Amino acid sequence: MANALETKLSNAKDVARKFLVEEITEQRVGEYLGFFVEGENVATHKFKCVDKAYVGWNWAVTLAIVDSASEVTVSEILLLPGEGAILASSWIPWEQRVEPGDIGVGDVLPTAPDDTRLVPGYTGVDDLFEEKLTPEGWEVGLGRFRVLSVLGKDQTAIRWYDGDRGPRAPIAEAVTDKCVTCGFYVAISGSLGRSFGVCTNKFAADDGKVVSIDHGCGGHSEIVVDLHSIPTGGMVFDDDNLDTAELIDEEVAEVEVAEIDEDDDDDDTEVEDLDLSADVIDESELEESDENN
């Protein structure tokens, strides 16, 4: 049951609206949305915000009263998100936001001391007796405080195998020849080397990348193509698009003389004293010339 102070605060809706309009302007204040009690002497009236920049937000005017003899006063006004309000994403710690490949030039990403992908490197004989090590589980950590753990290797192998350089990559499924038989495949050391190596074919899309032994591509070193079985077309001459040009009389004569020279060279004869100014060479001159010779 509402006490006298709550009733007085509840009835002060117009006080809240008047103050809001004075502060915000009437154009940004919408319909009345309700009232709720904040505490013993404090309550809030809510109004819809009709500012286009704050769709879904509501104005909250908080009122206070000292006692039943006092006047209601305004403590604060603020915007509160309502239904459909656009809100910022909730905060996520940076270490949970980092994704594979995020480290760029100049970036620094510290690795946690307890990162399960790493274990202390093998640094002395005593290590052999402190925990049971297997060839898959340890490697000499000369110069390194930590080396890849078994879990780290498992995660790496799964990530590489399921990635774009594993057997299910489209480029690998399109060919039958696999990396394991390719001359450009160079195995890596350690236990990961049983399943992975590096492609060294400069023409391959995966040159310099780690590939699984059952990956593959069309650049496999042993792929043989029978070039003679590839059909080729003959020379195509497009005589529909020849450029033509008019020859002047002197050029016609030169062409004809050249043709005659060619013919005479074949017959071991010479052409002498021809009238080059004629439009058409008189063949009788040629015959006479031949007879004289």
Q: How far is the CB of 224 from ligand SF4 (least distance, A)?
A: 14
CB closer to ligand SF4 out of 35 and 216: 216
Q: Name the one range near ligand SF4 by CB under 6 A: 41-49, 73-81, 85-93, 211-219.
A: 211-219
CB closer to ligand SF4 out of 28 and 220: 220
The reply to whether 206 sits near ligand SF4 by the rule CB under 6 A is yes
The residue with tokens 């020859």 is 247
CB closer to ligand SF4 out of 59 and 185: 185
Task: Strands of 19-130 (E only): list them.
Answer: 29-37, 42-49, 57-64, 73-81, 118-120
The reply to whether 215 sits near ligand SF4 by the rule CB under 6 A is yes
Contacts of 34 (CB under 8 A, 6+ apart): 45, 46
Q: Which two tokens stand for residue 215?
A: 């990956």
How distant, in Å, are the alpha carbons of 70, 91, 277, 292 from that of 262? 128, 93, 20, 19
Count CA atoms closer than 13 A to 237's CA, side-chain side: 2
Binding residues for ligand SF4, rule CB under 6 A, total 14
The reply to whether 118 sits near ligand SF4 by the rule CB under 6 A is no
The reply to whether 220 sits near ligand SF4 by the rule CB under 6 A is yes
The reply to whether 28 sits near ligand SF4 by the rule CB under 6 A is no
| Of the candidate residues 45, 63, 219, 281, the single one contacting ligand SF4 (CB under 6 A) | 219
CB closer to ligand SF4 out of 138 and 184: 184
Identify whether the C-beta of residue 194 lies closer than 8 Å to the C-beta of residue 176. Answer: no
The reply to whether 212 sits near ligand SF4 by the rule CB under 6 A is no
Identify whether the C-beta of residue 52 lies closer than 8 Å to the C-beta of residue 27. Answer: no
Q: Name the one range near ligand SF4 by CB under 6 A: 52-60, 97-105, 204-212, 283-291.
A: 204-212
The reply to whether 47 sits near ligand SF4 by the rule CB under 6 A is no
Cα distance between residue 273 and residue 40, in whole Å: 134
Of 172-191, which residues contact ligand SF4 (CB under 6 A)?
Answer: 179, 182, 184-185
How distant, in Å, are the alpha carbons of 39, 82, 197, 206 from that of 222? 82, 67, 18, 17
CB closer to ligand SF4 out of 180 and 260: 180
Q: Give the distance, in angstroms, between the CA of residue 90 and the centroid of all CA atoms in the same chain.
A: 27
Cα distance between residue 172 and residue 8, in whole Å: 78
CB closer to ligand SF4 out of 78 and 174: 174
E strand or H helix that includes residue 5: helix 4-10
Q: What is the binding site for ligand SF4 (CB under 6 A)? A: 179, 182, 184-185, 199, 201, 204, 206, 211, 215-217, 219-220
